[in-house]
């Protein structure tokens, strides 16, 4: 999750649920007050393993569904959102809509569900791409191919606001082109050898389906190309360096950086022929990856393009393609045993391609106006709590404090759904041409982005749809966004105890706010520009605290029997700061909401205990070992079992709430507890 926000003028005046904080809540969706206490394991001391204390019975008795690589609170809520959308789609099919966007929603979903037509059409929809690749005779033809938005290449294009001037859009170029996470190619060991062998077999399987009569030889060549590409790419942790990945260049400078690329030809094929300046991300990776365009034979590049095009579109092609991709990417790499039901995948497909069209109907049915109002109050409370905390931070000097408060004052929170819905009138969708529908959707989206290069930045745009169970922060816009679907139990429940809502959605809000001040977010000022607003002394203090936090997380090695594959504290730093800061903000806001009174004891638990338990419940989950490995290697988020308890170890009030002492496993001496926001 990521984040952004507004300044609350008065903490006390804006506190929601204040009256309820002193009385027993009505029955919540989980338990009587918002915590499912039946899933706890009271035999475990809270100070030894707080995560299992709160979730122990659930962890011991829950089986991960066969069609999932992980399962937990997020997944339960995503299943609900998926079912809600499925019901909506069926209603639209039974009563055909008049609205043109909803007609396209129905047509897209129908084209996905029509498996008979997909099988009958076979590889025919992909054939034009295969023919185009086969026809390439020289490097210029290759440049035209890799410039097409549907093709893979050692680099990729994106369009987003310019960090130097967030009122305008800029073209960004970053490293790309691999079929697995970089570390799967570079890490040593039998386990990674097995993944690499399986991947090579997968390449051969898909190339065989496209008609390659010597697929095994072709697969070996493609794999070796990707191995060479992986060796020069930046690690996921390096990619988080805001300064290192912001490199503005004009065309001449870009051509000097990567002379192996015929940039005018690529730009024209991409639809960016008038572009004169760009921002380059991983400079050395792009330069060295581009050099492979000359050192690797043209025929290998053509085989590479065929494989990736078949892989990228496998779910739109006959079952043999779809099954092959599932077998490798889901079964082998994540341990998933069974393909998801087709209707579930169809719901996801529609959400990914006409998400705001279906999302508008979702909001009308599933997002009560009072939820938006309650969230607005909670957001203001968390912003006010952070302002109060910034005022008293002993590691921050006054000059930096003033800048931090200035940034906080400009946070822009968006809740539930966008103020302006996306216009899909230019998107062509037919009920019996799935492949072309998705191709049209991809081109529609790219054309929409390119058209904005000469327009001012649209601050109303959303990057998640309303039915998404997630949230995010945009450092360039200084916005926090909370889609409608996450505003449900266990995150938020209007009938739950306020302590639980603060420990759940309150800490999530705080997490997103915290991203504006994490190791990446702190590089941006109140307008979203890259600017160093920190004094050297305060910056040094911040770096020292984050180093300690990184060491804490890096000590977790969550895969059973594997004490070498651990959390990457540098890669997960932003999310870890968000979790810790979010809990600290939410706790401050919760205590302020009590207005000096003590919360009631509910079923033997104090208000403070319920607050910390709520956070651990939010992160309740289990993962298959391969999926856990994939997350540790590629994802900036630590596993749920780590996120659900490590922040508490740094908060004094958790120790007091549960009587945690130096004899307990999770105990940290006060001087070792990290205090950032």
**Residue of 512, 517, 505, 530 lying closest to 611 (CA atoms):** 505
Taking every pair of C-alpha atoms in the chain, what is the biggest distance, in angstroms?
78
CA R_g for the chain: 26
List, in sequence order, every beta strand (DSSP E) within 236-369.
247-250, 277-280
> Where are the domains positioned within the chain?
12-82+346-417+461-672, 126-317
Tokens standing for 350?
Answer: 């529609």
Q: pLDDT tens for residues 354-383? A: 999 999 999 999 998 888 998 999 999 999
Q: What are phi and psi of 221, to 5 degrees?
A: -65, -45
Q: pLDDT tens for residues 525-571? A: 999 999 999 999 999 999 999 999 999 999 999 999 999 999 999 99
Give residue 667's Cα distance to chain centre: 31
Neighbours of 236 (CB within 10 A): 18
Q: pLDDT tens for residues 185-244? A: 999 999 999 999 999 999 999 999 999 999 999 999 999 999 999 999 999 999 999 999
pLDDT of amino acid 103: 98
* Mean pLDDT (whole number) for 298-320: 98
Of the chain, the percentage scoring pLDDT greater than 70 comes to 96
pLDDT of amino acid 219: 98
Given a cut of 50, is residue 4 above it in pLDDT?
Answer: no
Model confidence at 1, pLDDT cuts 50, 70, 90, reads: very low
pLDDT of amino acid 58: 98
pLDDT of amino acid 27: 75
Distance of alpha carbon 216 from alpha carbon 197, whole angstroms: 12
**H or E segment at 161?**
strand 155-162
Q: What is the CATH number of domain 12-82+346-417+461-672?
A: 3.40.390.10
pLDDT of amino acid 28: 87
pLDDT of amino acid 166: 95
* Cβ within 8 Å of residue 3, ≥6 positions away: 471, 472, 473, 480, 511, 512, 513, 514, 515, 516, 521, 578
Q: Strand, coil or helix: what is 173? A: strand
CB-based contact 528:476 (threshold 8 Å): yes
Q: Per residue, what are the HEC states of 506-552? A: HHHHHHHHHHHHCCCHHHECCCCCECCCCCHHHHHHHHHHHHHHHHH
Whether this model's pTM surpasses 0.75: yes
Model confidence at 9, pLDDT cuts 50, 70, 90, reads: very low
Of the chain, the percentage scoring pLDDT greater than 90 comes to 94
228 burial (CB, 10 Å; 0-12 / 13-18 / 19+) is middle
pLDDT of amino acid 26: 54
CB-based contact 432:120 (threshold 8 Å): no
Q: What are phi and psi of 173, to 5 degrees?
A: -125, 125
Given a cut of 80, is residue 614 above it in pLDDT?
Answer: yes
Exposure letters 97-134 (e unless 16+ CB within 10 A, then b): eeeebbbbbbbbbbbbbbeeebeebebebbeebbebbe
CB-based contact 446:158 (threshold 8 Å): no
Q: What is the CATH number of domain 126-317?
A: 1.10.1380.10
**H or E segment at 170?**
strand 165-175
Given a cut of 50, is residue 18 above it in pLDDT?
Answer: no
Distance of alpha carbon 135 from alpha carbon 237, whole angstroms: 39
């Amino acid at each position: 999750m990521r984040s952004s926000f507004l300044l609350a003028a008065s903490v006390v005046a804006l506190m929601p649920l204040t009256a309820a904080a002193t009385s027993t809540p009505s029955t919540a969706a989980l338990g009587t007050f918002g915590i499912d206490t039946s899933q706890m394991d009271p035999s475990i001391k809270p100070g030894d393993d707080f995560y299992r204390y709160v979730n122990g019975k659930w962890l011991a008795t829950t089986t991960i569904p066969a069609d999932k690589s992980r399962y937990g609170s997020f997944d339960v809520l995503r299943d609900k959102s998926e079912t809600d959308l499925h019901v909506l789609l069926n209603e639209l099919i039974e009563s055909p809509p008049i609205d043109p966007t909803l007609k396209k929603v129905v047509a897209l979903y129908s084209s996905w569900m029509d498996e008979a037509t997909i099988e009958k059409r076979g590889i025919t929809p992909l054939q034009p791409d295969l023919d185009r690749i086969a026809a390439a005779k020289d490097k210029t033809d290759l440049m035209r191919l890799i410039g097409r938005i549907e093709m893979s290449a050692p680099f990729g294009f994106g369009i987003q606001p310019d960090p130097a001037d967030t009122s305008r859009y800029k073209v960004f170029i970053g490293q790309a082109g691999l079929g697995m996470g970089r570390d799967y190619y570079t890490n040593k060991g039998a386990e990674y050898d097995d993944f690499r062998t399986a991947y090579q077999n997968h390449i051969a399987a898909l190339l065989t389906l496209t008609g390659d009569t010597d697929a095994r030889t072709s697969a070996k060549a493609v794999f070796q190309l990707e191995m060479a590409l992986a060796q020069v790419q930046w690690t996921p942790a390096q990619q988080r360096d805001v300064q290192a990945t912001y490199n503005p260049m004009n065309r001449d400078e870009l051509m000097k950086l990567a002379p192996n690329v015929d940039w005018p030809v690529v730009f024209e094929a991409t639809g960016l022929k008038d572009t004169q300046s760009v921002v380059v991300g991983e400079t050395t990776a792009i330069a060295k990856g581009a050099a492979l365009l000359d050192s690797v034979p043209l025929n290998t590049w053509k085989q590479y393009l065929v494989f990736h095009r078949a892989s990228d579109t496998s779910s739109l092609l006959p079952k043999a393609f779809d099954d092959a991709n599932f077998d490798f990417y889901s079964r082998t790499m994540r341990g998933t045993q069974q393909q998801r039901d087709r209707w579930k995948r169809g719901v996801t497909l529609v959400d990914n391609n006409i998400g705001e069209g279906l999302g508008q109907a979702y909001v009308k049915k599933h997002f009560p106006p009072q939820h938006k109002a309650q969230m607005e109050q909670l957001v203001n409370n968390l912003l006010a709590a952070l302002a109060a905390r910034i005022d008293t931070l002993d590691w921050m000097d006054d000059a930096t404090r003033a800048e931090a408060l200035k940034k906080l004052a400009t946070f822009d929170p968006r809740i539930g759904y966008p103020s302006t819905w996306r216009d899909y009138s230019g998107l062509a969708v037919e009920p019996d041409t799935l492949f072309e529908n998705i191709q049209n959707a991809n081109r529609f989206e790219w054309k929409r982005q390119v058209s904005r290069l000469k327009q001012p930045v649209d601050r109303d745009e959303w990057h998640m749809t309303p039915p998404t169970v997630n949230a995010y922060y945009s450092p360039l816009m200084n916005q926090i966004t909370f889609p409608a679907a996450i505003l449900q139990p266990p995150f938020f429940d209007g009938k739950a105890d306020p302590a639980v809502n603060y420990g759940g959605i309150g800490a999530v809000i705080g997490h997103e706010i915290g991203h504006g001040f994490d190791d990446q977010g702190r590089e941006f000022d109140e307008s979203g520009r890259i600017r160093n607003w920190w004094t050297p002394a305060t910056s040094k203090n911040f770096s020292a605290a984050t180093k300690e936090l990184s060491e804490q997380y890096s000590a977790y090695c969550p895969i059973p029997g594997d004490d070498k594959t651990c959390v990457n504290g540098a890669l997960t730093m932003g999310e870890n700061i968000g979790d810790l800061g979010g809990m600290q903000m939410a706790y401050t806001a919760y205590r302020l909401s009590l207005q000096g009174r003590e919360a009631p004891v509910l079923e033997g638990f104090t208000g403070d205990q319920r607050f910390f338990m709520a956070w651990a419940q939010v992160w309740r989950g289990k993962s298959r070992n391969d999926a856990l490995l994939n997350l540790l290697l590629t994802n900036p988020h630590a596993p749920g079992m780590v996120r659900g308890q490590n922040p508490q170890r740094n908060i004094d009030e958790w120790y007091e709430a549960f009587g945690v002492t130096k004899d307990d496993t999770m105990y940290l001496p006060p001087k070792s507890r990290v205090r950032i926001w």
